[in-house]
Amino acid sequence: MNIPFYKPDITEDDIQEVVNTLRSGWITTGGKTAQLERELARFCSTEKAVCLSSQTAAAELTLRLLGIGQGDEVIVPAYTYTATCSVVCHVGATPVLVDCADDSPEMDLDKLEKAITHRTKCIIPVDIAGKMCDYKSILEAVKAKSAWFLPKNELQKAFGRIIIMADAAHSLGAFRSGEKSGQAADFTTFSFHAVKNLTTAEGGAVTWRKNPALDSEKIYRQYKLFSLHGQDKDALEKSRSNCWEYDVTAPYYKCNMTDMQAALGVSQLRRYEATLEKRRSMIENFNKAFKSLPVQLIKHKGRGQMSSGHLYMTKLSNGSRDKVIAALAEDGIRCNVHYKPLPLLTAYKKMGFAAEDYPIAVQHYNSELTLPLYSTMTLEEQEYLVEKFKKCF
């Protein structure tokens, strides 16, 4: 039997929704994208959502919206995918890496607080595997250093403290302490990449929490300007009679979502709760099956919290990870590793980051193994995976 690391969950309803959009005669950003934005905002219990070409675009545009750039520092985990950090470099700010906690792949909160300086403008926590970070504790750390915050523009003044932007590429549908992913951080960016729980093939979105000091409609319009070259009318608005005239307010970027992508997202979101239940059920079954093995499993639920079940991450004893990957590959099972810490990558070595300064992140990496988990996995595939993984021990 062959079990890939991931299979997209695409139904006939999904296909029909995309076909209907293709036949409609309107395939770029338009009504379907606006529909997905409304439904995402409703799902996340936020006022607004903006759909874009990727989570990376959403994160970069948020930094630009906040006026973060040259001379500023942005704190990110050392243990994450490059997209979390590359956007900081794109806007000209300086990334500051923080090591993991001893018992978690998330940032160590004590080290996070010590990393804050007068130049810190933003922190980007990462919801690894779909489990939301402790945003309340992160906010407390930020408030403790609020006197250090030196705002550079009116939007930063409105916050009066370091801004928290969640990298929630994995966590759509998760909740913690009464807040959904999308509500807990000041801004939250999602990914709808092909391997995510909800996919638009490529794509992403950003939401922001309600704040009386913010004009949500103005923020929404600014994201739209950023994503469409700074043009003050999109193609749909220009297509209406007598509406061809437009202006370009600034030479911005091109990273909008198309209606073809949004159509797939609309269909996927209709059954997303059922998708989450399937993933969570499989995780429970795997946890029971692997309970007696010398393996540490990432917790997907706890008091007042539930992850989106995006990844099934395990920690093996040092030195055995690569052997297990090879053994499972011989049985037709493809695994992955999340993540190679940033200081181990050439791009960040060139910036001066060194692995020895982030020992916990390196330890996590050396023992981490991610098993296949997808909502279309059959019972037979699940049983085969359990059998072959147990055989490794």
Domain range for 97 = 12-270
> Is 116 among the domain residues?
yes
Instruction: Kindly state whether residues 195 and 287 are assigned to the same domain.
Output: no
327 and 384 fall within a common domain: yes
Give dist(CA 328, CA 313) in Å, integer. Answer: 15
On the question of pLDDT at 235 being above 80, the answer is no
Mean pLDDT of the chain: 95
Number of domains forming the structure of the chain: 2
Q: pTM of the entire structure?
A: 0.96
- Identify the bridge partners of residue 73 per DSSP, sorted by sequence position: 94, 120
Of 270, 290, 315, which one is at a domain's C-terminal end?
270
Co-location of 123 and 254 in the same domain? yes
In a domain, 7, yes or no: no
Is 119 contained in some domain?
Answer: yes
* Whole-number Å distance between alpha carbons of 46 and 62: 16
Q: What gap in Å lies between CA 125 and CA 245, rounded to an integer? A: 42
Q: Say if residue 227 is in the same domain as residue 276.
A: no
* Residue 6 within a domain: no
Tell how many helices (H) and how many strands (E) occur in the chain.
15, 16
> Residue 298 maps to which CATH number?
3.90.1150.10
The pLDDT tens digits of the residues spanning 98-127 come to 999 998 899 999 999 999 999 999 999 999
Across residues 375-381, what is the average pLDDT? Answer: 96
Q: Is the dihedral of CA 134, 140, 141, 146 positive or negative?
A: positive
Q: Do 285 and 252 fall into the same domain? A: no
Residue 5: inside a domain, yes or no?
no
Amino acid at 278: K
**Rounded distance, CA 136 to CA 183, Å?**
12
Ramachandran assignment for 108, one of left (phi > 0), alpha (psi -120 to 50 degrees), beta (any other): beta
- What is Dmax (Cα atoms) for the chain? 71
Q: Is the peptide bond before 223 cis (omega within 30 degrees of 0)?
A: no
Q: CA 127 to CA 116: how far, in whole Å?
A: 20
Residue predicted with more confidence, 58 or 233: 58
Residue ranges of alpha helices (H) inside 272-373 are 272-289, 321-330, 346-349, 359-367
pLDDT of residue 241: 62
In the prediction, which pLDDT does 389 show? Answer: 97
Q: 187 and 80: one domain?
A: yes
Please give the average per-residue pLDDT across 34-51, as a whole number.
98
The pLDDT, as a whole number, for residue 300 is: 84
Q: What angle do CA 361, 344, 360 make, to 5 degrees?
A: 15
Same domain, 250 and 329: no
Whether 92 and 213 map to the same domain: the answer is yes
In a domain, 3, yes or no: no
Does 177 lie in the same domain as 286?
no
Same domain membership, residue 266 and residue 372: no
Q: Note whether 43 and 89 are same-domain residues.
A: yes
**Domain closes at, from 248, 270, 292:** 270
Q: Is residue 357 part of a domain?
A: yes
Q: Are residues 264 and 291 in the same domain?
A: no
Q: Reply yes or no on whether the pLDDT at 244 is more than 90.
A: no
Contact between 361 and 341 under an 8 Å Cβ cutoff? The reply is yes
Q: Residue 70 domain-assigned?
A: yes
What span, in angstroms and rounded, lies between the C-alpha atoms of 385 and 286?
9
pLDDT (tens digit per residue) in 245-272: 888 999 999 999 999 999 999 999 999 9
**What CATH number is associated with residue 112?**
3.40.640.10
Residue type, 281: S
Nearest to 5 by CA among 312, 393, 322: 312
Report residue 320 CA to chain centroid gap.
29
From 270, 292, 322, the end of a domain falls on: 270
